[in-house]
Structure 1
Amino acid sequence: MSELSKAVTTGSTSIPAKKKRKSMISPAVTYPVITVVIILGIWEIFGQIGMIDTFIFNWPSNIIASIWQFMANGAVFEHLLTSFIELAIGFALALIGIPIGLALGYWRKLDYAFDPIIIALYTTPVIALTPLFILWFGLGLLSKIMMVFTMSIFPILINTTAGVKTTDTSLIKAARSYGATELQLFKEVIFPSSMSYIVTGIRLAIGRAMIAVVVAEMLASTQGIGYAIRHASELFKTGEYLGYVAVLMVISVVLNQLLKVLERKIAPWRF
């Protein structure tokens, strides 16, 4: 007997709704892929019909060929290793912005005292100070690490502070009424509530860290992706130059997607 017949027989007036099939691929994946494919397709067509001068620019197929070439000879991996070391150490140091941001967001007097200084440092064009960093810390890894640290810490610190300030005060009062200590309050209420802000700050900091390491390597280095970009541009190897830039873009996208996955694991209630 069909569902409709059963409903009529039993006197029920409700008809079961059809179950919607869930798509195996999320629109969050398909839409960006389609957009990127369309843009790359149009870009490639312009290149193939001669509308792009290879001396000043290039198109996807040539850029991919350049990437394949420098990956085949292994040169890119040495540069990536150098840049990764500088990026990883500098970024790890910048994570100190999380506990500092938690403290500033919770204790308002500290925020009042240091907020003008933090904003002034954050809005300072640190890239313009790169030569000064090289004078202070030398031509080795340390100057690049400090550049990454300086560029990365402020987005993390400022977003963490903002996250603490948006924590629901009723939750804090409830935790205190149950006798929660300051440490328990931070661990069980404030930190989880601020998680989305913290991850957003880290995602913003990744972009600034990439800029810092590339600019520092372009100005004073004989290794790293920044140096490779500068070297290729000086030789007018536009395809190779853009290939290195594309590698950086892919790394940035992968890191941001990994952070999104991490956020879903740590704070699933946000989704």
Structure 2
Amino acid sequence: MEKVQASGNMKISSATIKNGRKIPQSISYPSVTLVLILTIWEACGRLNLIDPFMFSWPSRIFIEAKNFFVNGEVFTHLAVSGMEVGFGFAMALIGIPIGLMMGYWKKLELAFDPFVTALYTTPMIALTPLFVLWFGLETLSKVMMVFALSIFPILINTMAGVKMTELSLIKAARSYGASERQMFKEVIFPSAIPFIITGIRLAIGRALIAVVVAEMLAGNIGIGYAIRHASELFQTAEYLAYVVVLMVLSVLLTELLKIFEKKLAPWREQ
């Protein structure tokens, strides 16, 4: 009886209870931390410890965000940036089949791995002017920048996932006469799914960086352009408000990806 009661206490202590519902620590702890940071940050701003020309504080950032949400300006920029990220990221998913093949066939890896490593370690952001020269000032240059920065985390993580497949599973599949197609479908791909998802999560951040930098250097619309325009006018609060929008967007995309991973790979512990 004591053991059961102790176990129940442990379960209750592992979560915060609100309105009769348990809130997981993964939500309650970050929420408390965020409130503390925002409170201290806001207090510093109200006490004139922050120069509004150099930086800003939460209430001013919120007002600017509210303004461009009300007038709809942010949605125009988000639509353009979202389209560029969407097309570029969709193209970057070609890294999944390439990574599967390079991870499975050793000769293919030996032939191309040095080039993949060289391109991945190349500072692509520094090549933005070259992309503009090749693909012009319009949408295509931004799409290609997103593609160039996004494909390699996906490809490399997919390769790692293939290599981490348990040898016993491969031997068991072969002993039952599995074809190459069946091997990929039933053993290799399911084993690599967590690594593929990790690669996609890393690629999301790189894709957002790519589109913002490309729009800042060669764009007249989009989130990157809006950030550049606000910074040129020294509208620090508006500038930071757009940055916060990007942060929230990246977090939402990552959380959606986690949900998708749970559906696709329910056996993996979160």
Length-normalised TM-score, structure 2: 0.93
- Secondary structure of 2:128's counterpart equals helix
Amino acid of the residue matched to residue 17 of structure 1? V
Q: 1:228 aligns to what? A: 226
Take 1:240 and 1:40, find their aligned partners in 2: how far apart are those partners? 17
Candidates 118, 132, 135, aligned match of 1:134: 132
Q: Does 1:74 align with 2:97?
A: no
Residues 16 and 33 of structure 1, relative CA distance in 2, 3 Å threshold? closer
Q: 1:251 aligns to what? A: 249
Structure 1 position 252, deviation (Å): 0.2
Q: 1:102 aligns to what? A: 100
Q: Does 1:55 align with 2:71?
A: no
Q: 1:269 aligns to what? A: 267
Candidates 166, 172, 178, aligned match of 1:168: 166
Structure 1 position 16, deviation (Å): 5.7
Take 1:111 and 1:93, find their aligned partners in 2: how far apart are those partners? 21
Take 2:193 and 2:32, find their aligned partners in 1: how far apart are those partners? 31
Q: 2:19 aligns to what? A: none
CA-atom RMSD in angstroms: 1.1
Take 2:152 and 2:184, find their aligned partners in 1: how far apart are those partners? 21
Amino acid of the residue matched to residue 210 of structure 1? L
Take 2:200 and 2:28, find their aligned partners in 1: how far apart are those partners? 25
Length-normalised TM-score, structure 1: 0.93
Structure 1 position 268, deviation (Å): 1.3
- Secondary structure of 1:25's counterpart equals strand
Amino acid of the residue matched to residue 195 of structure 1? I
Counterparts in 2 of 1:148-159, with a 5 A limit? 148-159=146-157
Residue segments in structure 2 that go unaligned for 5+ positions in a row: 16-21
Q: 2:4 aligns to what? A: 17
Q: 2:110 aligns to what? A: 112
Take 1:262 and 1:32, find their aligned partners in 2: how far apart are those partners? 22
How many residues in Structure 1 have an aligned counterpart in Structure 2?
A: 258
Amino acid of the residue matched to residue 68 of structure 2? F
Q: Does 1:28 align with 2:15?
A: no
Take 2:181 and 2:244, find their aligned partners in 1: how far apart are those partners? 44
Structure 1 position 178, deviation (Å): 1.1
Q: 1:212 aligns to what? A: 210
Query: Post-superposition, which runs of at least 4 consecutive aligned residues in structure 1 deviate over 6 A?
Result: none
Q: Name which of structure 1's ranges 248-257 and 185-194 shifts more when overlaid on structure 2.
A: 185-194
Q: Deviations over 1:50-103 (max 9, x none)?
A: 100000100011001100011111111100000000000000000000000000
Share of identical aligned residues, percent? 64
Q: Deviations over 1:83-134 (max 9, x none)?
A: 0000000000000000000001000111111111001000000001001000
Residues 174 and 233 of structure 1, relative CA distance in 2, 3 Å threshold? same
Structure 1 position 39, deviation (Å): 1.1
Structure 1 position 34, deviation (Å): 1.4
